[in-house]
Amino acid sequence: MAYDVQMIREVYSQLPERIDKINKLLGRPLTLTEKILYNHLAGELPQVPFQRGESYVNFNPDRVAMQDATAQMALLQFMQAGKAQTAVPSTVHCDHLILAKTGAAEDLKIAEEVNKEFMTFLQSVSKKYGIGFWKPGAGIYIR
């Protein structure tokens, strides 16, 4: 998915002002988590502080990362939505269906055989909709 550099610059240029407004609203400095969440709010900044465990808040994510075990349902629902592409950069990471039993190389080979049809589906849907696809074995590897 292409990135709109001008849009990114505009978002980042507004961060200091938005953080100052939220600092004043809350009456204290923000934690890193609060900075991230408040700057990803859908819609305008609130007029009153959110109440933990009570307030319902909508967010706009920068990116969606899916893992193989749950991506199938998400992609099926996305396909039914009739969209041509995702609204934000998205990726599928095929690493959860590799069972650690024997050793990395053999476990990967078994997972690719057992889940071949499943992985082919994820890869083809990803390609069709411009979603990044990380095949089994392409993720974290520790020797």
Residue located via tokens 């007029």: 47
User: Would you state the pLDDT for residue 1?
Assistant: 47
Its pTM surpasses 0.85: no
Nearest to 92 by CA among 129, 62, 40: 129
Percent of the chain at pLDDT exceeding 70: 94
Burial bucket for residue 113 (CB in 10 Å: 0-12, 13-18, 19+): exposed
pLDDT score of 3 more than 60: no
C-alpha 119/C-alpha 106 separation (Å) is 17
